[in-house]
Structure 1
Amino acid sequence: MTETPAIRRVDLDITGMTCASCVGRVERKLGKLEGVSASVNLPLESAAVEVPPSVTDEQIVAAVDRAGYTATIRQAQSDATPTGVTSPRHSLPEHDEHADHSDHSDHSDHMNHGPSGDMIRPRLIGAAILTFPLFLISMVPALQFPHWGWAALVLATPVTLWAAWPFHTAAFKAARHGSSTMDTLVSIGVLAAWAFSTVELLLDPGMTAMAGAAHGGGMASMADHQLYFETAGVVTTFLLLGRWLEARAKRQAGSALKSLLDLGAKTATVLRGGVETTVPAAQLVPGDEFVVRPGEKVATDGYVISGHSALDTSLITGESVPAEVGPEDTVTGATINTSGRLLVRATHTGADTTLAQMGRLVSDAQTGKAPIARLADRISAVFVPIVLVIAVITFTLWLIFSGDLHAAFRAAVAVLVIACPCALGLATPVGLLAGTGRASQLGILIRGPEVLEDTRTVDTIVLDKTGTVTTGDLAVTSVTPLQEQSHGYDAGRLLLLAGAVEAHSEHPIATAIVAAARERSDSGHIPEVTGFTSAAGGGVHGTVTDGSQTGHRGWSDPVPIDGQSPRDLTTHEGGLLSVAVGRSDYMATQLDSGALTAAEKQQLTAAEEAGATAIWVAVDGQIAGIISLQDTVKESSAPAIARFKEMGLRPILLTGDNAAVATQVAAAVGISEEDVFAGVRPEDKVAKVTELQRGGRVVAMVGDGVNDAPALAQADLGIAMGSGTDVAREAADITVMGSSLGQVAQSVQLSRKTLGIIKSNLFWAFAYNTLGIPVAALGLLNPMLAGAAMAASSVLVVANSLRLTRFGR
């Protein structure tokens, strides 16, 4: 069987795009290359391109060039890239108006499309200064003087040919490639008003020889003269003003990602040969040991070697309570050390850090397209040519039925100006910029824009218990040896044997058992294990070396840990012991008898009815005892579940724990007893999600462990707790970097609000163009007012999106 060729991703920076039709043309050109698919983002001036091995980077760049734009391949991160910044795309430096646009490494401000705000500002100022007197002398007869038309020509010419130059150049580039954009409409409208007026003035130089005051003063109508210089000036000024305001607002919408990536530490104090040396954080490599003093940022991801402190993780997780850390605890780059001195060993640097991965997820979400955006793209692809045809038809019909050349001209120009689809092109991407940027500030990562659509339809939310609804910080509360089967092992010895096997597992239950075993061991060490095996959601098995080196402090039988008085016990002289730890169904496969007895089951039931999670321990194929553990419910869980219900979501508790514990937890947080499913194995979690989906439910799954990953992938919407495993986060659509279930509710609310903003943007953009064109064609809209309205529409779309930046404040 032949292998499918690997598809690679190429990120492009593209200059020269100005509207949604530009986006559509670039995507079509790239899509003509065999096996290539592309998603182009207007505000970020970027494209994510899926490319087969048969297509080269040069072909990709050439395709964009044929579309009339300039593309550069975004370079992958080098070793010199600062920690937490994955590429020039992510660093988003301030725009340099003197930068060479051919060298995109120095021109990485993707918050603007077309000319940047810095380039627009001088043209806007010049246009405003010249247009103000131009408007007055053209529209107020009392201010007109003999031959004022020539003064209007002098004022309008630099506005038309210099201030509006960005529109003309963009229109020319599009025309050179046989296409049109919104700039085509603006350029034609402005040039037509200026050229028509200039020709009229040249043909009749004395048409404005009489001062306007002779007409009786007052505000003149557009019909009082045959010159439209003020139309060219006012339209240009309004559109430049709209572009400038739009550029500023979009920069604000995208600033959240830049702020996120600026959080990384710039320097690190590395310990080498016992000497502290300050180096750039970008130079850290895995294995380096660095010092973090109080008030300093952790330079990169790692784990604590020595020291105790509390870390302010709010910048990453969105949670305000500092997290206590000590030896062996993991730490995340960009978090702030609030108290003690820490010595940390780096485990991930550069593009592999949590901060860098967050940046990639946020940027990918902003670059992609929600399904709802595809409709806008399809319409925009044919919109401009249709408008040009409508303008020609408008001019012709007015000329035929009214015989008024000037009225026909005004109507045609108004159609061109009012129809510019800039707002349509900005509706989705700017909403994504603002929404995903705000989400990153709250410690919420949305994998892609299509996720927003999924949150709208979800009606059921399935919650894993341990680590999601509860803290996941299980603690061993008692160990109960079953004397007749325990081979004489007391509670302390059973705990050591169980801890030895569980040390190779990452499950929260295993972590608790190992911690208790180390605490009870005289040396802090536990026996060695070979032949370790694990059954997801069932249990673990291994061969334990139970030698004389291992001493422990024992327990009476049974006794709660908190009430234990330690005493030294004689060390068991043994060889290799077969030890299994797990749930009832798993233990049945490990026992010589192949099944648990009724008496054994009764003892387990008694432990579970006390509200504990009970785990069997078997030695050499025989049940030896029961380990009981308990967990605590997170303070945020009950309020979060109440919010789920307010959003119309049905919360379901799905857990591998026993029914008694699951029911107690559900009652504490407000989940109905009929919505509790206990004793569920990982594969059964997938089956339960599938069952709900087959029943017509649209399911979101929340989890944090490896055993949740299949269900997260199966669900219509997978939400991973950031405190969980990498596997869970990889399988999820949304990751909340904290451990609060409240952030999950917040993520759904923000996703829905972002989608709502995008929809309202698209509605008003469609409605604006749909209603504006016939109004202009009927001659009811002055070209100057059309220019102001078109500029305002783009600004309003961006301003509407910026409401998302205040979410949760």
Structure 2
Amino acid sequence: MLGNPNVHRMTTQLTIEGMTCAACASRVGRALQAVPGVTHAHVNLATERAEITGDVTLATLLEAVEESGYGAHPFTPAEDRAAARAAEQHSLGRAAALALALALPLLLLEMSGHLLPAIHHWIAQTIGLPASHMIQAGLATAILAGPGFRFFRLGLPALWRSAPDMNALVAIGAGAAWVYSMAILATTPGEAVYFESAGVIVALVLLGRWLEGRARGRTSGAIRALSRLAPRIARRADGSEVALDALALGDALLIRPGEAIPTDGTVLTGTSFLDQSMFTGEPMPVARGPGDAVLGGSVNQSGALTIRVDKLGGDTLLAGVIRMVEEAQNAQMPIQALVDRITLWFVPAVMAVAALTFALWLAFGPSLAVALTHAVAVLIIACPCAMGLATPTSIMVGMGRAASLGVLFRHGDALQRLADVQGIAFDKTGTLTEG
């Protein structure tokens, strides 16, 4: 078929950067689905990946994601993405630690007096309430301008595009509390301020995202374990070591007893027993001699072997297994479609409820401060992350655990249907071990 070689007529996978909640994933999915030529687009928040099918160039897809406010690049191998996630998690951990360190004295200055009135009197008699409020203003400003600035950097542009997300909710809630408190501090010193609400909100949300990132990182452990089955260094027949990336088809490799086979090949010389249980489920080692095929990731049990390299990189069976697990983890299950429809309208609905709450309390409540605190509470507690993450994270955990036990799912929806299975029948001996 003739045509533009840069046009993708099959499935393209992208790594999406900057998603923090289910609303983000829904927004990226809508942006990709709106691209002319795209027939299907699915974004998985847990794996941070998008799967797109249709006649469209890679550049067009990347541009669509960037216009929606997020970053994207072609999907990279699990090991590379794991390193990037570790760096992101480290940065988020430092931000959460700094925010908590600043929020703790802020919380003590404002709230400890409500628990122990003596502390309130002590603060009033020593530094005075105006000075206490000034210190709180400095701490809250440091939190919002430092570790919490990410919420404003991501949330306000999303709000400007009429596509608010969780970052926008936090930015509006914390920002409103800070602006109101600064106005009180400037006009009527000594009145109640809410700097602790702004600072503690940001600190707790950052802590929650750090814990969420840790949970997501653990779910990809099965894929990393699979990729580590094949060694990164191979040994040529003359005994010299060479990186796996430097091998070529037809190279002769020496496999000593106890070593893992680096890639798929054929035995040239030697006889041995190999542990292939990861691929076949067979508990007993299998005999291999000249002319027999061997699989990368298998472990040589006894004698030394010399093998010829037949497949490399993504063509090996182990790479295919890893690809199968990744595709199954990234698949959209039927229940996820319902979740996506809910989260699409969740954030705008929350903002509408918060605005209504503010208006009602302002009209019938005792003061502006009470109306503000109730509206901020609605904004902050309404995080759709749990809904958006529950299904994809469950898929990742379940399929990752199954892969570690040697059970591989070809399709993501098979896991959901398995809940209704009452029994499994296997036709004859060899079905589980030989296929």
* 1:171 equivalent in structure 2: 155
Q: Does 1:415 align with 2:378?
A: yes
Count of paired positions:
416
Contact 1:19–1:422, Cα closer than 8 Å, also in 2: yes
Whether 1:47 aligns to 2:50 is yes
- Name the structure 2 match of 1:278: 241
Mapped pair 1:723 → 2:434: yes
Matches within 5 A, 1:117-132: 117-132=89-104
**Residues 611-690 of structure 1: matches in 2 within 5 Å?**
none
Give the equivalent residue in structure 2 for 1:64.
65
Residues 742-753 of structure 1 aligned to structure 2 (within 5 Å): none
1:683 counterpart residue number: none
Find the partner of 2:285 among 315, 322, 334.
322
Report the residue type matching 1:402 in the other structure: G
Q: Secondary structure at the match of 2:156?
A: helix
Structure 1 residues 166, 192: closer, same or farther in 2, change over 3 A? same
Is the counterpart of residue 89 in structure 1 residue 91 in structure 2? Answer: no
Q: For the residues of structure 2 that align with 1:466 and 1:150, how far apart are their CA atoms?
A: 78
Q: Give the equivalent residue in structure 2 for 1:194.
A: 178
Deviations 1:512-532 (A, max 9, x none): xxxxxxxxxxxxxxxxxxxxx
Q: TM-score by structure 2 length?
A: 0.90
Task: Describe how 1:37-436 pairs up with structure 2 within 5 A.
Answer: 37-52=40-55, 55-74=56-75, 88-92=76-80, 94-95=82-83, 108-109=84-85, 116-141=88-113, 142-143=119-120, 144-145=123-124, 146=128, 147=130, 148-205=132-189, 207=190, 226-271=192-237, 275-317=238-280, 320-436=283-399
Residue 140 of structure 1 and its aligned partner are, at CA, apart by 2.5
Q: Larger relative CO (CA 8 A, sep 6+): 1 or 2?
A: 2
Shift in alpha-carbon separation, 1:462–1:121, aligned structure 2, 3 A: closer
Deviations 1:350-394 (A, max 9, x none): 111111001111111122211111111110000000000000001
Task: Give the direction of change, closer, same or farther, for the CA distance of 1:226–1:6 in structure 2 (3 Å limit).
Answer: closer
Query: Residue 443 in 1 paired to residue 427 in 2?
Result: no
TM-score scaled by structure 1? 0.49
Pairwise mapping of residues 564-583 of structure 1 onto structure 2 (< 5 A)? none
Amino acid at match of 2:68: A
Q: Is 282-291 or 351-360 further displaced after alignment?
A: 282-291
Instruction: Give the distance between the partners of 1:723 and 1:244, measured in 2 at CA.
Output: 43
Q: CA deviation at 1:328?
A: 3.3
For 1:792-803, what aligned pairs fall within 5 Å after superposition? none
Give the 3-state SS of the residue equivalent to 1:285 in structure 2. Answer: coil
2:280/2:434 contact within 8 Å kept: no
Secondary structure of 2:236's partner? strand
Shift of 1:63: 1.1
**2:21 alignment counterpart:** 19
Query: 2:420 maps to which residue?
Result: 457
Question: 1:113-156 deviations in whole A, cap 9, x for unaligned?
Answer: xx922112222222222211111111123152312111111111
For 1:412, the aligned partner's letter is A
Shift of 1:460: 5.8
For residues 7 and 15 of structure 1, the distance between their equivalents in structure 2, rounded to whole angstroms, comes to 24
Change (3 A) 1:300 1:20: same
Question: Which deviates further from its counterpart, 6-15 or 408-417?
Answer: 6-15
Q: Identity of paired residues, percent?
A: 38
Q: What is the CA-CA distance between 1:191 and the residue it aligns to? A: 0.9
**Structure 2 counterpart of 1:723, one-letter code:** E
**Can you give the 5+ residue segments of structure 1 that lack an aligned partner in the other structure?**
75-87, 96-107, 208-224, 469-720, 725-809
How far, CA to CA, are the matches of 2:280 and 2:107 in structure 1? 54
Deviation at 1:308, TM superposition (A): 2.0
Tell me the amino acid that sits aligned with residue 51 of structure 2. A
Check conservation: 1:362, 1:440, Cα contact below 8 A: yes
Equivalent residue letter for 1:30: L
> 2:15 touches 2:50 (CA, 8 Å); kept in 1?
yes
- Determine the C-alpha separation between the residues in 1 that align with 2:187 and 2:257: 80
Q: Which amino acid aligns with 2:204?
A: F
Q: What's the CA shift for 1:319? A: 5.2
Question: Partners in 1 of 2:160 and 2:286 — Cα distance?
Answer: 60
1:19 deviates by: 1.0
Residue 24 to residue 333, structure 1, CA distance change in 2 (3 Å): same
Structure 1 residue 296: Cα displacement: 1.3
Given that residues 317 and 442 in structure 1 are in contact (C-alpha distance below 8 angstroms), is that contact kept between their aligned partners in structure 2? no
Higher radius of gyration, 1 or 2: 1
Q: Which residue identity is paired with 1:138?
A: E
Structure 1 pair 259–92 and aligned structure 2 pair: CA distance change class (3 A): farther
- Hey, what's the Cα distance between the residues in 1 that align with 2:397 and 2:88? 19
- The one-letter code sitting in structure 2 at the alignment partner of 1:253 is T
Q: Distance in 1 between matches of 2:245 and 2:433?
A: 24
Q: Note if contact 2:89-2:214 (Cα within 8 Å) is conserved in structure 1.
A: yes
Q: Structure 1 residues 89, 230: CA separation in 2 closer, same or farther (over 3 Å shift)?
A: same
Amino acid paired to 2:205: L
Taking the aligned partners of 1:6 and 1:133, their CA distance within structure 2 comes to 55
For 2:415, give the aligned amino acid.
Answer: L
What is the one-letter code of the residue matched to 1:175?
Answer: L
When the two chains are superposed, the root-mean-square deviation of aligned CA atoms in Å is 2.1
CA contact (8 A) 2:8 2:58 kept: no
**Match for 1:419: what amino acid?**
A
Amino acid at match of 2:57: T
Residue pair 1:117, 1:243 contacting (<8 A) in 2 also:
no
CA distance in 1, matches of 2:378, 2:221: 35
> Aligned pair in 2 of structure 1 residues 73, 94: CA closer, same or farther (>3 Å)?
closer
Task: Spell out the pairing of 1:686-725 with structure 2 (5 A cutoff).
Answer: 721=432, 723-724=434-435
List per-residue Cα deviations over 1:395-418 (Å, max 9, x = no partner): 111122224222211111110011
Paired residue secondary structure (2:164): coil
Query: Judging changes above 3 Å, is the alpha-carbon distance between structure 1 residues 6 and 466 closer, same or farther for their aligned structure 2 residues?
Result: farther
Q: Note closer, same or farther for the CA distance 1:125–1:462 as it changes in structure 2 (3 Å cut).
A: closer
Q: Are 2:29 and 2:43, in contact at CA under 8 Å, matched by a contact in 1?
A: yes
- Letter paired with 1:410: T
1:448: how far off? 2.5
Distance 1:44 1:393, change over 3 A: same
Q: Which amino acid counterpart does residue 261 of structure 2 have in structure 1?
A: V
